[in-house]
Chains A and B, each alone.
Chain A
Amino acid sequence: MRPLEVQHLKKNFGGVAALQDVCLALEPGERRALIGPNGAGKTTLFNLISGVLAPSAGSIRLFGREATGLPVHRRAILGLGRTYQVTNLFPDLTVLDNLLLGVQAAEPTRFSMHRPVRTYRALVARAEGLLRDWGLWEARDATVRELSYGVQRQLEILLALARRPRLLLLDEPTAGLSPGERVTVTAMIRRLDRAIALLLIEHDMDVAFEVAATLTVLHEGAVLAEGEAAAIKADPRVREIYLGPEKLD
């Protein structure tokens, strides 16, 4: 069962067609990068898939289920996870609390009012485990505000991971990072469980080619090309609109 199937998706804003007839499908465990110049419609596509925006036409299926009319939180319940280009964490809470929110999100105990959350050993253990596995243990009691931007971007992914998604949308995960930080985050993405399908928007070509086996190129709201990394690199249309005169290798 495919984690994601987008059929003939269109989105208009007033008179502007942000997306025109986009079709896209991911296989389980696939790692796909979504690239294209600014304004090509990549984040709009993410917003449509996650349910923040409603399409003007077309359909979206998540894990075989019709998801087009579903509200955002229902799609998450189906197994969709998402990170944001502009860091979207809980700034006043500690790193551990941020993760606890992600970890408890799928549990019925998230409505429990009579016991402190820290007494739920299993939840706390899972959150702490995530921190340890991904190198953020030291930061667990810091509030997000106090973290460096690079660590925040890591937490951004970790938080989405906490809910155990089966499909993860990563919106420019390395945006604004220094080269060293980029290496860390790229390594993190590559380490992600192979069972999770990834769709990643990236402007950094190196990251995109490193992480994804297949790419979809979006241009002016339509799919220009789609295929394996090598083919996309060599595609003259792609080079023309996006990669420009620069040589890639």
Chain B
Amino acid sequence: MRRLEAAALVAGALVGVAAAPRFLSSYYVGLLTQALIYAIFAMSLDLLLGYTGLPSLGHAAYFGMAAYTLGLFALRGEKNFWVAVPWALGAAAGAGALCGLLAVRARGAYFLMITLALGQVLWGIAFRWRSLTGGEDGISGIPRPALPAGVPLSAPAGFHLLVLAVCVVVALALSVLVRSPFGLALQGVRSSESRMQALGYNVWLYQYLAFVIAAVLAGVAGALFAAYTGFVSPADLSIVTSARVLLMVLLGGAGTLVGPIVGAFVVLFLESIVSTQLERWLSVLGTIYILVVVFCPGGLVRVFRPARARRAPA
């Protein structure tokens, strides 16, 4: 679709989403808020998978690290969201920096397995280290950011707007990043590591930086999610969470940034419909995986775009 039409659509969507608390029930507003949070999460994974070509099966690790950091601050009685947030992002960055060192040196299949294993290890630690993390019970009482005084909005509406604002900022920042020289280099790395090496690029460094940036952004989403639900549990680090965000990227369309946003909304709404009717959401998740790979590997966004953008991740 043409530029002007696309811009109008986006503007309309933004206004609609922002105004949602006015005309939708709190259940649907909550879904929208979650979709926006997951959109951030999915975009972060797209940077890694769609643009750099690194398929991480354990991206929830960084989402969860940030969430747990907020949880730990809440346990110590910290009421101010903004005090805990830099630490949360730091934790995500730290975990990303460490795991990146282990995973990025590895060739394709190993990278996959290592990210999966690392995610599972972190989940296992959260699950078993009851004295620190509360184990399966998780940690509750995570505070939301307080609204500035005098703002005429209800708390959920205020939080919703904050999430929307962060989502927009992240989307804009990433869209500049992927068009920047660094972003172009990432795409080169995805396309042909060997050629990039031969051109003098330190491929490892690019992959590593992408990994850490993706981890930090996943941490942003994780912090917002913990504040949204007020609660964190090992599920936030689990393979299911990693699988869901990966599906959002694939279903929406990897390597497009818009795709993950669409994917986040579609998967969340599907989830909310399916899990109220059936208990078998995981079967549906698995089935959608298979359906996407077989019928729609480029994702939904590519189905609706003209030929130019028909490139599925390699």
B241 at the interface (CB under 8 A from A): no
Contacts of A112 in B (CB 8 A): 180-182
Residue of B nearest to A162 (CB): B199
Q: Which residue, of B185, B203, B311, has the highest number of chain A Cβ atoms within 10 A?
A: B185
A110 at the interface (CB under 8 A from B): yes
Give residues of chain B (162-212) contacting chain A, Cβ–Cβ below 8 Å. Answer: 176-177, 179-185, 187-188, 191-192, 194-203
Docked Cα-Cα span, A76 to B183, in Å, equals 21
Annotate B287-314 by CB proximity to A: 1 below 8 A, 0 otherwise. Answer: 0000000000000000000001001000
Chain A residues in the interface with B (C-beta under 8 A): 50, 52, 71-74, 76-77, 81-82, 84, 88-93, 97, 100-102, 104-107, 109-118, 120, 123, 143, 159-160, 163
Contacts of A93 in B (CB 8 A): 184, 187-188, 191
Docked Cα-Cα span, A72 to B194, in Å, equals 9
Contacts of B195 in A (CB 8 A): 84, 88-90, 159
Within the complex, the shortest CB–CB distance from B111 to chain A, in Å, comes to 19
Known contacts A91-B191, A93-B191, A116-B176; decide if A77 and B184 are in contact (CB<8 Å): no
Annotate B33-66 by CB proximity to A: 1 below 8 A, 0 otherwise. Answer: 0000000000000000000000000000000000
Contacts of B311 in A (CB 8 A): 92, 143
Docked Cα-Cα span, A106 to B199, in Å, equals 8
Chain B residues in the interface with A (C-beta under 8 A): 176-177, 179-185, 187-188, 191-192, 194-203, 308, 311
Residue of B nearest to A112 (CB): B181
The answer to whether A101 touches B180, judged by C-beta atoms less than 8 angstroms apart, is no
User: Apart from A73-B200, A88-B195, what 5 extra A-B contacts exist at CB < 8 Å?
Assistant: A88-B194, A92-B191, A105-B201, A110-B185, A160-B198
The answer to whether A89 touches B200, judged by C-beta atoms less than 8 angstroms apart, is no
Contacts of A143 in B (CB 8 A): 308, 311
Q: Which residue, of B177, B184, B187, has the highest number of chain A Cβ atoms within 10 A?
A: B184
Contacts of A117 in B (CB 8 A): 179-181, 183-184
Within the complex, the shortest CB–CB distance from A112 to chain B, in Å, comes to 5
Residue of B nearest to A76 (CB): B200
The answer to whether B187 touches A113, judged by C-beta atoms less than 8 angstroms apart, is no
Within the complex, the shortest CB–CB distance from B205 to chain A, in Å, comes to 9
Within the complex, the shortest CB–CB distance from B217 to chain A, in Å, comes to 13
Docked Cα-Cα span, A163 to B201, in Å, equals 11
Known contacts A90-B187, A102-B199, A116-B176; decide if A52 and B194 are in contact (CB<8 Å): yes
Known contacts A92-B191, A100-B184; decide if A105 and B199 are in contact (CB<8 Å): yes
The answer to whether A76 touches B199, judged by C-beta atoms less than 8 angstroms apart, is yes
The answer to whether B180 touches A115, judged by C-beta atoms less than 8 angstroms apart, is yes
The answer to whether A113 touches B201, judged by C-beta atoms less than 8 angstroms apart, is no
Docked Cα-Cα span, A120 to B180, in Å, equals 9
The answer to whether B191 touches A72, judged by C-beta atoms less than 8 angstroms apart, is no
Residue of A nearest to B191 (CB): A90
Contacts of B201 in A (CB 8 A): 73, 105, 110
Contacts of A89 in B (CB 8 A): 192, 195
Partner of B180, one of A71, A113, A159: A113
Contacts of B183 in A (CB 8 A): 113, 117
